Amino acid sequence: MYIHPNRVKRKTDTTFVKQSAIVSFILVVAMVFVNLGAVAYIMLAKGDEYRQKAASNQLYDVSIEGIRGTIYDSNMTPLATSTTAWILCVNPKAIKNKFEDNSFLNKENRYDIFINDISKRFAKILGMKKSEIKAMLLQSELSYKRIKKEVSPTQKIALDAIINKPYGFPYTYVDNGLFKDKTEERTYDISISSLFTYESDSIREYSQSNFASTVIGVINAENKGETGIERHYNNVLEGTAGRIVTAKDSRGRILESSYETVFDAGEGNGIVLTIDSNIQSYLENALNRAHASIKSDGVYGIVMDVKTGAVLAVSDKPDFDLNNPRELVSKAAKEELKKYKVGSDEYKQAFSNKLYEQWSSFCITENYEPGSTFKIFTAAAAIEEGVANLKTTHNCLSYVKVADITYNCANHKSHGLQTLTQGLMNSCNTFFITIGQRLGLEKYNKYFEAFGFTEKTGIDINNEAFPVYHNPARMSKVDLASTSFGQTIRISPLQLITAACSIANGGKLMQPYLVDKVVDSDGNIISQTEPTVKRRVISERTAQSVISMMEAVVEKGTGKNAYIPGYRVCGKTATAEKLDDNTDDAIYIASFLCFAPADDPQVAILVGVDNAPGPYRGGGVLAAPIAKEVLESTLKYMGVEPHYTQSELAEVSRTTPSLIGKNVSDAKIAAANEGLVTRVSGKGKKVVSQVPAGGESIPEGGVVVIYTEEASDTLEVTVPDFTGRTASEVNRLAVNSGLNVVFSGPTGSAGVRAYSQDIRKGTTVEAGSKVTVYFRTDNIAVD
């Protein structure tokens, strides 16, 4: 059968078309499923990611830091506050677009000129390097960049003067005239206010700079606590973050404020410390004077309420300025850094280590051998266990042998036969070694643990030191001998004073604390710290026995430089060798621990002097006078009434009579009747003012300056150098200089001389002013 070729061809074409259609249909269906799968994958697997990318391209969303809460002293005096500040931000991408889209601006390097000029002007205002700012402005791929945090109100005013003013580019305008071209100097102005924005911020300010710096602590660049109270209570102080959300256009430019939503940042809660600014000032002033005069490596001190465990003051010298915490203060630290190349990794690490040393409180974060102050705990344990009492005697031959080790008293001095009280007065090592051996290892360790020396105190601050002590299971009699008088163990000053307060308060170990309460921004109390008794360590009877022994130390023993007329002071001196791997020379920490008044102790003080140069001197000479100065001011501030003995009353200062309104002649007679000398300024007949004022205390033979109605100029005198003189010499010099002296220290004892004064020599003051002169005796055995 014949089939026409065209017919065959048509049949073949039809088959091909059908097959092609089927294939195309299959491909289309496959592509549909592929696309559906891709859409499903994007929606289900990558949905969140792409939604975030879309939102980031359409929205400007930035966090606002919370406002940090205030730190107060116990009297609600602000010590650390956060003041209003700003963060300067820039849109580098918008700057680039502004210049690229404008035919005038995209010529003649005007973009570079603008960047350089703005960088230079901002750098001058913000105290930054021009290169830093320029690098940020040139990051044109970014729509948002923070230039500077903590922009102060003054800085913001200066910045606004630039940002809110039209920025002009000078150019020469040419008018092509028919016969002659005319030129004119013009300025092409652009608005730059939309290129820069501000976010709310705060500046942490410390009103008293160095005040309690090692306790308050510092914050880091992220506004978070790095040390001290700032760190430990960071979650309390830290405010809640806010947000700014607004729209951006397709080119990344932030739209007008009508598109903006602001979620305000919240203020953190406030912290009320147990530290009293007045007591802290007494401590800091005394330590500063001592550090300057003794020239030791450092001095430290703690003041504690014996009944509650509240820390009333704590200080370490040298300290640092909280408003400039990253500047090294120690000359020794600066010298040590010279060993490294500036900018090297070694230098950076060493610098960081020195900063943290500077920021640390020796009182809390460091350990040391307590030395003879520890003898009060050995005595307490022995009395409580009945192995010794106040009548117990010991014949000191200047040495004692335990196993094969010979222990000596300081300076190898023999104290002879003495009672337990006399043993503490003389700080006799052999007496307390003997008592420790009688007590035995098991009972000794029982009280060592009970007084809190095997654990941290748990005070509410970071990095508290952990004690170093002998393992009871491996402890020998030789170890017991050493620890009985405060050697071969290491505890922190905080642990020592906390344990001492358990003796002062009748036997209860208190939990020490630095924060009294947490308050909100309106001052409402959120939480309050209640004094906590951790445990009873000794009986009230035993505590009273140790108190009486410590009182004798100040009355007649190594602590006589802490004597205060009218107050019964209890104390114990110590001079402990400090282990230092960097030197073979003997280094000592001289310390003094005290509390008062003996009949009802209120406050305890521990003062230490680290590595004082010069002749070997103990805690009774170096530390006791400092503690006495702080204790006397604190007791008077707390309203603790002095109770004078008959002999003390005879030496009490006179009360200045009120002379205002009297005739000059009558005023002189009234002053003379009180044993006072007068100086007259002016030629009037009546007294219109006087220095000191009526009712103030000045020494017998002191000076009262009276001003008459014709007086015009204030009488001024120069403060002399009182140091190195006896009390009578000081008084005579003061009267001759027209000044009054407040005597502080054991002025009536042999060998007593002035060692410091509260107003520097050469200072000009008003005649009749009072100068406090501090006395001590160096005739004290080293313990």
Q: How many Å apart are CA 498 and CA 370, to the nearest integer?
A: 13
Ramachandran quadrant class, 127 (left: phi over 0; alpha: psi -120 to 50; beta: rest): left
- Residue 18 CA, chain-centre distance (Å), reads 90
Q: How many Å apart are CA 754 and CA 289, to the nearest integer?
A: 13
Contacts of 425 (CB under 8 A, 6+ apart): 549, 552, 553, 556, 557, 558
The single residue of 202, 213, 296, 372 carrying the catalytic annotation is 372
Q: How many Å apart are CA 450 and CA 296, to the nearest integer?
A: 34
Contacts of 128 (CB under 8 A, 6+ apart): 122, 148
687, 667 contact by CB (below 8 A) = yes
Q: How many Å apart are CA 303 and CA 301, to the nearest integer?
A: 7
Q: How many Å apart are CA 688 and CA 627, to the nearest integer?
A: 40
Tokens coding 88: 């300067």
Tokens coding 52: 């975030």
- Backbone phi, then psi, for 52, in 5-degree steps? -65, -40
327, 359 contact by CB (below 8 A) = no
681 a catalytic residue = no
Contacts of 152 (CB under 8 A, 6+ apart): 85, 203
744, 715 contact by CB (below 8 A) = no
Tokens coding 644: 């004078």
CA geometry: angle 702, 706, 709, nearest 5 deg: 180
Residue 736 burial (C-beta neighbours within 10 Å; 0-12, 13-18, 19+): exposed
504, 570 contact by CB (below 8 A) = yes
Q: Which residues pair with 171 in a beta bridge?
A: 186
Report how far apart the first and last C-alpha atoms of the chain are (Å, whole number): 139
Would you say the C-alpha torsion 676, 677, 681, 682 has a positive or negative sign?
A: positive
Half-sphere exposure of 99 (CA within 13 A, CB side): 19
Distances (CA, A) of 415 to 78, 399, 408, 483: 53, 10, 11, 21
The residue among 217, 192, 191, 193 whose CA lies nearest residue 204 is 217
433, 402 contact by CB (below 8 A) = yes
360, 526 contact by CB (below 8 A) = no
**Residue at 103: amino acid letter:** S
CA geometry: angle 245, 247, 250, nearest 5 deg: 145
Helix (H, G, I), strand (E, B) or coil at 388: coil
572, 484 contact by CB (below 8 A) = no
329, 291 contact by CB (below 8 A) = no
393, 419 contact by CB (below 8 A) = yes
Tokens coding 659: 């002379």
Tokens coding 522: 């309106």
How large is the angle between the packed helices 441-450 and 477-484, nearest 10 degrees? 40
The residue among 726, 727, 724 whose CA lies nearest residue 761 is 724
Q: How many Å apart are CA 488 and CA 396, to the nearest integer?
A: 22
| DSSP 8-state assignment for residue 772 | E
| DSSP 8-state assignment for residue 611 | S
Active site residues: 372
